Amino acid sequence: MTARIGVVTFPGSLDDRDTQRAIRVAGAEPVALWHKDKDLKQVDAVVLCGGFSYGDYLRAGAIARFSPVMDTVIDQAKAGLPVLGICNGFQILTEAHLLPGGMLGNDHLHFICRDQKLRVENAGTSWTSDYTAGQEIHIPLKNMDGRYVADRRTLDELEAEGRVAFRYLDMNPNGSLNDIAGITNAAGNVVGLMPHPEHAVESLIGTGRTDGLPFFTSILKKLVNA
């Protein structure tokens, strides 16, 4: 049976179709989910895609966190449902307290769009098992509010527990503390990152690499072998 991965569309989402395509390229079935619906249509995993949900009014991800669909996502994520938050999706995950810390505006106060070098720090999550720890990859990055922040105790816990999933290399594009590009929850089923793996799944587009494809093959293998 084909794994079914839901992709939530909020008002202002930009990358829902790209994410659906990445899921299809990996061999799974993408399922469109609407922000007003609490029904997740019996999907096996969920992706919160990038964009500017609700125009980023109030604070990036702060309004989307209260969408009806998020009530179900939060409950099921706590019960083990794999959830990936990309860029705005990462912001929503922090606002929903499924991941610790928060996001502030880039320290240089400008929108940034570039191919970003990352190091895989944790290859043991539901979304990263097709990588190897220490692997260096290139993933497109585009954000205005991408600066990851947390108090010192939270940062120390993330580092000590191996929950930093990805770290920026060569340059820190937004001032994120500890060069953090992505993190995971303790169970490894919820992962958030600022770069956009869905834009790096085919060699003809994006970076010209397929460094983002393992996100989607990882979860597919996880679900097939579950």
> Position 35: which residue type?
H
Residues sharing a CB contact under 8 Å with residue 129, sequence separation 6 or more, in sequence order: 123, 218, 221, 222
Is 49 one of the catalytic residues?
no
Active-site residue, selected from the candidate residues 35, 138, 196, 199: 196
Is 87 one of the catalytic residues?
yes
Beta-strand relationship, 164-168 and 180-184: antiparallel
> Position 175: which residue type?
G
Is 35 one of the catalytic residues?
no
Residues sharing a CB contact under 8 Å with residue 149, sequence separation 6 or more, in sequence order: 101, 102, 103, 104, 176, 177
Say how many CA atoms lie within 13 Å of 31 toward its Cβ: 14
Q: Render the burial of 51-67: b for 16+ CB within 10 Å, e for the rest.
A: bbbbebeeebbbbbbeb
Active-site residue, selected from the candidate residues 49, 121, 138, 198: 198
Active-site residue, selected from the candidate residues 87, 95, 138, 199: 87
Active-site positions?
Answer: 87, 196, 198
